[in-house]
């Protein structure tokens, strides 16, 4: 006589036909959708390149030469900081580490924290000097502390750029000194700023600090938007004669956060005016909506030859969409699942996708991943499921 578990599996057979979950529409039907007003073009600003990105979804709301490689100047220090934050998180270095200042760090040209050669300065203070004062000397000292030399540290920067998918970025030095082979694009800068906010929220508050005092010298944060717009809480300025004046800024109003990048203005005040214009444009005409939470089952499907029969699927990160104000009711999603899933299944392993559409226009595709691990069952369970799969293939 067959075990009771086998009969239960046969009884479940009709349910196995539900392998595709279609038509989730969190905003209502298209017939009831409100028609959004026409969106005006983005403001005309005197820059070489710019992008405006929604933080939650990563969607670009406006762009001009967003993928063109340009000199980033001190905005480079965002990647320097990313590598340092990663070293802190792994325990390779600590905030209270005392760093001995080398002659190279002390002699580094450009903006300075005014650290003295041979002195010992904590990683915490050096980070503040790099982030708030944009100190090139502090930046080189941190690079040497993490990697032994600035040249080796630059290799770490390039490795992280590749891992983060920054396709138009390459680094030669840590502070952002001019070099023909040292470049970033406006889109890459926005993606990097987004990654810092997302991956290291415990370190992001440094970018809103308005001044920092070291060695009896107090210096102001060069990001003037921190003083003129209370919703701005970062991120970084940059300037050289060849790069012009640059700024990546981020602001949060209600539940929406935007990131603006402007590169290459001729006058210092123009980078702030251009950034403010982009942020105001984005907040006026767009909104971000969360469709699904991370690690929450969206659909449960059959898994064969596993220690469990069901596999919950969802998204690894919260899924947001950015649309013009008034268009949210037109958003719909279609969720598809791989027809046959056989154990073992690893957590976060993709088994389908969610396609987000605005009306008939595709907005994004996101992997539908396993929310738990399902190991392979024993030989008897695998044998029974092989028989069930055979009969299922006949009926399907």
φ and ψ of 22, to 5 deg: -125, 145
23: left (phi over 0), alpha (psi -120 to 50) or beta: left
Q: How far is CA 175 from the centre of its chain?
A: 22
Q: How far apart are CA 261 and CA 251, in angstroms?
A: 12
Residues 243 and 75 sit within 8 Å (Cβ to Cβ): no
φ and ψ of 100, to 5 deg: -80, 125
Q: How far apart are CA 133 and CA 114, in angstroms?
A: 10
Active site residues: 74, 77, 134
The length of the chain in residues reads 396
- SS3 of 326, please? coil
**Strand ranges inside the chain, DSSP E:** 21-24, 49-54, 60-64, 98-100, 120-122, 211-214, 217-220, 232-240, 244-253, 256-265, 286-292, 299-302, 310-314, 319-324, 331-337, 350-358, 361-370
Cβ atoms < 10 Å from Cβ of 296:
11
Residues 123 and 142 sit within 8 Å (Cβ to Cβ): yes
Q: How far apart are CA 105 and CA 127, in angstroms?
A: 14
- SS3 of 109, please? coil
φ and ψ of 366, to 5 deg: -130, 135
**Pair of tokens at residue 315:** 């998204």
**Pair of tokens at residue 61:** 């709301």
Give me the residue label for tokens 């709301």.
61
DSSP assigned state of 288: E
What distances in angstroms separate CA 120 from CA 3, 33, 111, 124, 388, one per listed residue?
72, 63, 20, 12, 70
């Amino acid at each position: 006589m067959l075990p009771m578990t086998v009969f239960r599996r046969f009884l479940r057979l009709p349910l196995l036909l539900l392998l595709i979950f279609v038509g989730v529409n969190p905003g209502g039907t298209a017939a009831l959708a409100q028609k959004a007003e026409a969106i005006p073009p983005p403001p005309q600003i005197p820059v070489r390149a710019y992008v405006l990105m929604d933080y939650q979804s990563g969607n670009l709301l406006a762009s001009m030469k967003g993928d063109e490689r340009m000199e980033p100047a001190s905005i480079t220090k965002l990647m320097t900081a990313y590598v340092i934050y990663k070293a802190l998180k792994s325990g390779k270095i600590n905030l209270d580490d005392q760093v001995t200042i080398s002659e190279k760090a002390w002699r580094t040209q450009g903006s300075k924290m005014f650290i003295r050669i041979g002195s010992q300065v904590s990683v915490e203070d050096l980070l503040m000097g790099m982030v708030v004062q944009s100190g090139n000397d502090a930046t080189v000292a941190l690079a040497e502390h993490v990697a032994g030399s600035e040249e080796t540290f630059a290799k770490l920067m390039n490795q992280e750029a590749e891992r983060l998918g920054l396709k138009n970025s390459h680094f030669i030095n840590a502070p952002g000194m001019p070099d023909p082979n040292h470049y970033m694009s406006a889109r890459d800068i926005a993606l990097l700023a987004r990654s810092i906010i997302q991956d290291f929220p415990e370190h992001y508050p440094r970018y809103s600090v308005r001044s920092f005092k070291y060695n009896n010298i107090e210096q102001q944060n060069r990001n003037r938007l921190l003083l003129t717009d209370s919703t701005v809480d970062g991120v970084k300025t940059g300037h050289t004669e060849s790069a012009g004046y640059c700024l990546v800024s981020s602001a949060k109003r209600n539940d929406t956060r935007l990131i603006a990048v402007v590169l290459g203005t001729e006058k210092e005040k123009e980078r702030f005016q251009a950034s403010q214009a982009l942020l105001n444009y984005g907040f006026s005409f767009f909104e971000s909506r969360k469709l699904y939470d991370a690690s929450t089952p969206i659909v449960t499907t059959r898994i064969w030859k596993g220690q469990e029969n069901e596999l919950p699927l969802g998204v690894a990160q919260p899924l947001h969409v950015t649309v013009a104000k008034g268009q949210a009711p037109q958003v719909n999603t279609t969720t598809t699942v791989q027809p046959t899933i056989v154990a073992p299944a690893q957590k976060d392993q993709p088994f389908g996708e969610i396609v987000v559409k605005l009306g008939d226009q595709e907005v994004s595709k996101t992997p539908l991943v396993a929310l738990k691990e399902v190991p392979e069952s024993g030989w008897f369970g695998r044998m029974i499921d092989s028989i069930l799969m055979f009969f299922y293939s006949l009926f399907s």
